[in-house]
Amino acid sequence: MTTVVPDSDTVTRDALAVLQPTFAGTHRAPDWLLAQLENGMTGVGLFGRNVVSTEQLAELTGHLRQARPDVLVAVDEEGGDVTRLDVHGGSSVPGNHALGSVDDPELTRAVAAEIGRRLAACGVNVNWAPSADINSDPENPVIGVRSFGAEPDLVARHTVAYVTGLQSAGVAACVKHFPGHGNTNVDSHHALPRIDIDLETLHERELAPFRAAIAAGTRCVMSAHIVVPALDPERPGTLSPAVLTGLLRAPAAEGGLGFDGLIYSDAIEMRAVAETYGLEQGCVLAVAAGADALCIGGTPSDEAEVLRLRDALVRAVRSGQLPEERLHEAAERVRALGRWTAAERERGAADPAGAAGTGIGLTAARRAVRVSRPDDAPLQPLTGPAHVVTLSPAANIAVGEETPWGPGAELARLLPGTTVSGHAGADAERAGPAGLARQVLAAAGERPLVVVVRDRHRHAWMAETVAELVAARPESVVVEMGVPHAPPVGGTHLATYGAARVCAQAAAETLTGHRAD
């Protein structure tokens, strides 16, 4: 085990305090990480790789809390497509797009409160959510159904509802991705997006949900690795003083948003930062720009990496590149959030009953389903075995590949004898959309055909395959579980506005007329 050496060097402890690494492990954290928590590190991030069950997660976070009682334990639990608690089976609540389509802020508040109760019962006290991005570009590869919608007022009111619901359970909200990641068709996990809009549009559209969330008391805001030339022509938001200090921190009288809470960086190792600036320099520039906590989350960290980044920050202070008072200010903000979360836990805001589930997720998913039929004909429920084919796009990194999706399993349960198959873009590339459609039709035989897609408008192979299937079988059912931007097709068209497990269940119930309750 790494030896704990009390360090009286304030700069070194402050540098450790702003680092929020991830790690490998499910039941115990590595000894080195526990030692660094005792040395001054303040928090960690958890991902699906750290989660087996709610009971196991509570055990793991309790282990962390033994090393540091006020440790910050953060996850990406947006609900819907981006889930960590339900990474192995699919989320028990729908995501933002489904909630925005219903447009009932009280429902959104209740769903967020349920997420908060579950997180708090597991010992998680910071949620890197909600996404306050306005999905103004339908080709966006990384936001999509993670957004409440494309209208600023709608996104703002649901962002507020989510923040208030989540924080009512004693879990800090972290509104993201500032100053707005919706108007881009580039994924910052892979490259550096650029948003060419003027300041007036930025303030009226992208910033509206963040301004509302700050007024509602969000504890945290997460920066985005995007370049907005109207603010800074070179540096992405995470590394830009103009974005973090000049806009997010500055008072309203100076044209800013006046936020005085904690600023998290998006994951520093994402290519938008790391490939241009390097991990060490990216950390230094982010803190200098105004970030307080550095998320280091793509792959598990080890002690060598954490100490290397700590030392880079210390060297930057010693050389004058990073003002000591800026690093100390950042560290104090992180510690202050730790005190708030510890007080909320002591107060009992965490309701263990929330872990059992309130059923609000399925209720919300059912309300989000939209059905289209030619000439508005009534829906004819499926009564016998069907063939379900899922056309799967590659999942983005935020969603991950490990979470199952689609209504196939639930339809097979409700309609015994139903068969399920899945295809990806590589299958269409090999056989061509027409050839892939022939394979699907051969597998379906005489059974009704249910075609399940995700963001059909963004994937030509998917759209062409669906067109072939519907041309051959006009009565086919098409279930869109992404953004329903493409026109409805098929004899029956369902839109679920997300691919959560409860969205799949709601779709299956709608198609069969059977409900669990």
Catalytic residues: 189, 266
Distance CA 234, CA 496 (A): 39
Distance CA 505, CA 352 (A): 25
Closest CA to 172 of 132, 125, 235, 214: 125
CA 12 to chain centre: 32
Residue whose token pair is 């938001």: 237
- Cα separations in angstroms, 372 against 23, 70, 304, 464, 478: 46, 51, 56, 20, 10
Contact (Cβ atoms closer than 8 angstroms) between residue 266 and residue 45: no
User: Token pair for residue 502?
Assistant: 């409860």
Q: Is 278 helix (H, G, I), strand (E, B) or coil?
A: coil
Distance CA 371, CA 364 (A): 16
- Cα separations in angstroms, 116 against 93, 100, 127, 378: 12, 19, 8, 39
Distance CA 451, CA 406 (A): 10
- Order across the sheet with 419-424: list the strands: 370-372, 492-495, 477-480, 449-453, 387-392, 419-424
Q: Which residues contact 487 (CB under 8 A, 6 or more apart)?
A: none
Q: Are strands 449-453 and 72-75 parallel, antiparallel or unpaired?
A: unpaired
Label residue 430 exposed, middle or buried (CB < 10 Å: 0-12, 13-18, 19+).
exposed
Q: Which residues contact 22 (CB under 8 A, 6 or more apart)?
A: 44, 45, 46, 47, 50, 296, 297, 299, 300, 301
Distance CA 48, CA 181 (A): 23
Q: Is the peptide bond before 179 cis (omega within 30 degrees of 0)?
A: yes
Sign of the torsion formed by the C-alpha atoms of 155, 504, 427 and 476: negative
